[in-house]
Structure 1
């Protein structure tokens, strides 16, 4: 038996040594590409080592409830040496230390959870959970980790019970029975998560390698990253195609909860009239199997939601106010154009056009061989036939897309001239120009943006602002003015890829929106705006700068912009919708900026904590559903075509409703009315 065990250990060690050699080679190749192709390559030195080490450790053990101080100290011998390992390219045995320590710590926590599951857990305790933004040290005694896990599990059980209902007295009466059910669920979740961490789909060793590779790339900038084959395929397949769908998209929030990110108009989820954006997904049931979301990977959930292998799916969800509900959905073939450009005619006085651009897609990823710019041109033509007196271009939540499309589109709204300046790592400057004289539309324009407006969308907004072609309204944009491409590590290698930042864009003024974003001419408050992650919040983001590069361009004349902006500021200062946003934000920011008070773990305290935000969410939901006082209708062309398109009708109704409750669209109409007022004087 001892000989068999020794042989097994030898085989395992040999295999890991071989994997480390391969990982070392991959590391070197990643660095080679980044040094040769990255817009702003960084030296591989101690600063890189510290960043990679600290980021990896935080990713593995963010709350310091996994590793002991002595285990951290053993790994910390590599803190200033990772750069040496990469440059040498022949010794990556350090990976074994991280793999071994991480696996051992996970297994220890799993054993602790099993032990706690067999112990009595009173629902009224003298334990207290402390919340702090301070960086606490690692524990030196494993039993302290177990004690923390026991407290956290007890809280999670009470929290789960508290979310069942808003009636505390009723829940308290049945706390033992409800707690027993929740206890089983919480322990199953903890063990499931740990099992997933111990047995990830790509293999345990590979998961650690991939984390190091991606973190290494992120040191150069937050948009450069490593892809293995599956990750690259998933990234590329995110381009829309016709397939079976529930008509919803899901994402993971900062609490690692799976939430509904978006509903597709006309899809099965939308037709229930129950599911809302932001609802939390709790359970899925498909093909006679039930999946608890809290211990199922986002990849697996996305597969169930998107794959045609699961035709019928039952979802259990929780709304922000705590209401739990279930829906049964059957997938249908969804059209590719659910993210396409669309338009309406709006009015509370003179008719104005409204064009929503969800993303800057290109003909390559659209089966109808239409790109975004062509679609915008067609919508403008439709709107002009309806005699619009102004145009709103809505880029809220538009994360970017094809630069070719946005360059073509920007040219449609200026007479002619330079649009941007592009530079690479060699400081080779290329002026991007619009050579086509004339404008597709020459009336007044407002461009709506927010903190999720990024990349190509910021490019367009910047051009319109620099040419004085449109007033930009909303909140400061993300701040990404760089372009990436995906490269294989070497020829004929279909396993390893790097998404690398190649170029940086500058505005025709020589300024850049990189890091700082597009600052709107008309600033409008938005819920949680200060808490949204922007480029400036990313520690390795490429910083902002300007260049002295003279290009000649002709601005549009200033049609009383100063007066129009002042009027908007005065108007929004008295607007009850914007006042509510500012009031709620003040409450949220105060809670976020201060340390939360220690919480004694009793059901009464946990219930109060769980429901403390109910009234705020109720106010936010009411504000989000409030209809604005302007009219909305289809273009004359759309009215004719929608008569025979049931899917189109459903999608159109959803889009109309979304526009009608958008306070920013209402203010954009007001701005256009003010511009026209001054123009007609």
Structure 2
């Protein structure tokens, strides 16, 4: 028995040693790549050590209910030493993190198994505290049971509270509901812990991958490490245009699989049972295979969903209100539409062309034979044949993409000249120019942006603003003015990659929109605008600065801009829908930004806490679903094409509804009408 234990012990240390060597080898390659290619490489010093250590501990124990204070202090010996260890190619520190993390998980498992047998009392004065700031690592061993008892009790009460917005309908059935929710909460928690502990390789690989990624983000938030692991394969598989369930899937902050988008016309949309942010709990097929998402590897779940042999799939989902539904879906062939440019004609006093650009995709992405810019050119030709008198380009929620496509698009509205200035890590300036004379469209343009308009969207918007080529309306953009490329760590073994920031781009004026964002000419209230995570919220974001550039350009006249802006601002003040958005934002800000009071662990108190936001959500839903006074229709070319495609007809109805509900388009049309009247 002693020999067996010793053998197991030696095997464990051997595996840890191998992982440490692998971690160091990968770290060394990442650091060499960053120091050589990154736009603004930083030294490996105490600042890096503190950032990586603190961020890593936040990932491992975000809620401060796993590690004790003693364990944290034990790990703290590495807080100022990680830089030295990395430079010395000594990654022995990883075994400390693995050992402490594994021990804490085993302890958590025992505590949960003990608490599972308890009968909970929901009439005590126990309460839970909430904070947007991180709690300190001050957990003591004797308090662990109490902390987890409170956490589980809150989760159970929260789960029951989400079943209905009516407290009186739940209270008489509380005992029965509590039994069901308690079993579910414990099963979920224990299942997650067991799935990690039972797969030692998964635990160690997850810790290593998290550590390597955090190391990269120290240099800037958009530099990341990733390997060809199960999660990335799973995500890429579900995000392809051939996803025949008609669902786009993502992960929330709890690492739960959620519904990110329901594709119009697809199997999921036809059931009318799915909503954005629904959590997928189980996946099963008709052969009897059933997997609980929280306990199964992404490889197995992805294989079951994506396999052609599984024509029918059943998804068990949890709605926002806590209700659980099982929905059976039969796969169908889907067409790629997610990233395709589309256009409509909007009429209100005049005929205006509307073009929506969801992302700056390129022909390498497989979404189109051409890239985004060529697709926009096609839409412009269609709209011009219908004699539109102005153009609205919608970049709201466009997170970017190909800079080359953004540059080509800018060139379509400008007649030769510089568009942007690229600066590399040697401070070399490259002026990007539109070398083609002439333009695809010469009429007036209004550009729509918001806080989620980023990167290539900002690149394009900046050029339009610098040339006075378009009036920009909406809210300040995200503020990302850097370019990334994906590089393998090893050309011979392309399993590990780094997405690396290699250049920063500036406006042709020498100004930068890094951190600052693109500030619209006309500011409009946008729902949730103040709580959107912009570039400025990242600790390691590149700084804002200004350069002196040799770019020379001839902007268009902006003689009419001041009057147009004045008329628009006056109209906005008297538009009821914009006033409703501003009022809703005040309530949202108060709810999100004000410190939250401790909540007593009674059913009534937790119910009131969960449903405090309900009235605001009702207002938001009403605002979002309000229709504008515009008439939205297809251009003549698309109208003919739609006659022969039932699938596209369904998607078209969905898109028209979304466009008709867009208050910013209504104001954009009014601005273009002002331009027309002032230009007479």
Shorter-chain TM range is over 0.9
Q: Does 1:106 align with 2:99?
A: no
Pairwise CA distance, 1:259: 3.8
| Whole-Å separation in 2 of the counterparts to 1:200 and 1:575 | 58
| Whole-Å separation in 2 of the counterparts to 1:123 and 1:104 | 31
- Match of 1:644, SS state, is coil
Pairwise CA distance, 1:11: 1.8
Aligned length: 679
Range 137-146 or range 225-234, more displaced: 225-234
Aligned residue for 1:593?
A: 593
Instruction: Indicate if the aligned counterparts of 1:321 and 1:618 stay in contact, CA closer than 8 A.
Output: no
| Whole-Å separation in 2 of the counterparts to 1:364 and 1:202 | 35
Q: Does 1:353 align with 2:332?
A: no
| Whole-Å separation in 1 of the counterparts to 2:621 and 2:259 | 15
Pairwise CA distance, 1:280: 4.6
Q: Does 1:583 align with 2:583?
A: yes
| Whole-Å separation in 1 of the counterparts to 2:299 and 2:464 | 39
| Whole-Å separation in 1 of the counterparts to 2:364 and 2:133 | 48
Correspondence list, 1:216-365, <5 A: 216-230=215-229, 234=233, 237=236, 241-254=240-253, 258-287=257-286, 288-292=288-292, 308=308, 310-317=310-317, 320=320, 326-365=326-365
Range 279-288 or range 152-161, more displaced: 279-288
Instruction: Indicate if the aligned counterparts of 1:240 and 1:366 stay in contact, CA closer than 8 A.
Output: no
| Whole-Å separation in 2 of the counterparts to 1:144 and 1:305 | 42
Q: Does 1:195 align with 2:194?
A: yes
| Whole-Å separation in 2 of the counterparts to 1:24 and 1:647 | 52
Aligned residue for 2:498?
A: 498
Range 41-50 or range 494-503, more displaced: 494-503
Aligned residue for 1:123?
A: 122
Range 17-26 or range 105-114, more displaced: 17-26
| Whole-Å separation in 1 of the counterparts to 2:551 and 2:188 | 60
| Whole-Å separation in 1 of the counterparts to 2:337 and 2:528 | 30
Aligned residue for 1:209?
A: 208
CA RMSD of aligned residues (A): 2.2
Instruction: Indicate if the aligned counterparts of 2:64 and 2:139 stay in contact, CA closer than 8 A.
Output: no
Range 126-135 or range 376-385, more displaced: 126-135
C-alpha offsets along residues 237-272 of structure 1, whole Å, 9 cap, x if unaligned? 479754242212133334555443222222122223
| Whole-Å separation in 1 of the counterparts to 2:307 and 2:357 | 27
Correspondence list, 1:436-475, <5 A: 436-475=436-475
Aligned residue for 2:485?
A: 485
Pairwise CA distance, 1:134: 5.0
- Match of 1:42, SS state, is coil
Note closer, same or farther for the CA distance 1:567–1:221 as it changes in structure 2 (3 Å cut).
same
Note closer, same or farther for the CA distance 1:277–1:7 as it changes in structure 2 (3 Å cut).
closer
Aligned residue for 1:57?
A: 57
Aligned residue for 1:662?
A: 662
Correspondence list, 1:3-42, <5 A: 3-42=3-42
Note closer, same or farther for the CA distance 1:23–1:262 as it changes in structure 2 (3 Å cut).
same
| Whole-Å separation in 2 of the counterparts to 1:324 and 1:562 | 54
- Match of 2:397, SS state, is coil
Instruction: Indicate if the aligned counterparts of 2:231 and 2:299 stay in contact, CA closer than 8 A.
Output: no
Pairwise CA distance, 1:645: 1.1
Pairwise CA distance, 1:406: 1.1
Instruction: Indicate if the aligned counterparts of 1:265 and 1:651 stay in contact, CA closer than 8 A.
Output: yes
| Whole-Å separation in 1 of the counterparts to 2:371 and 2:176 | 58
Residue ranges of structure 1 left out of the alignment (5+ in a row): none
Pairwise CA distance, 1:352: 0.3
Note closer, same or farther for the CA distance 1:304–1:361 as it changes in structure 2 (3 Å cut).
farther
Aligned residue for 2:543?
A: 543
Aligned residue for 1:163?
A: 162
Instruction: Indicate if the aligned counterparts of 1:363 and 1:370 stay in contact, CA closer than 8 A.
Output: yes
C-alpha offsets along residues 583-616 of structure 1, whole Å, 9 cap, x if unaligned? 1211121122222112111111112222221121
Instruction: Indicate if the aligned counterparts of 1:29 and 1:489 stay in contact, CA closer than 8 A.
Output: yes
Pairwise CA distance, 1:151: 0.8
| Whole-Å separation in 2 of the counterparts to 1:545 and 1:141 | 46
Note closer, same or farther for the CA distance 1:341–1:307 as it changes in structure 2 (3 Å cut).
farther
Instruction: Indicate if the aligned counterparts of 1:628 and 1:663 stay in contact, CA closer than 8 A.
Output: yes
Note closer, same or farther for the CA distance 1:239–1:292 as it changes in structure 2 (3 Å cut).
closer
Range 76-85 or range 262-271, more displaced: 262-271
Aligned residue for 1:185?
A: 184
Note closer, same or farther for the CA distance 1:37–1:219 as it changes in structure 2 (3 Å cut).
same
- Match of 1:365, SS state, is coil
| Whole-Å separation in 1 of the counterparts to 2:556 and 2:618 | 44
C-alpha offsets along residues 388-434 of structure 1, whole Å, 9 cap, x if unaligned? 01001111111111111111111000111001111110111111101
Residue ranges of structure 2 left out of the alignment (5+ in a row): none
- Match of 1:126, SS state, is coil
Pairwise CA distance, 1:126: 2.3
Pairwise CA distance, 1:125: 2.5
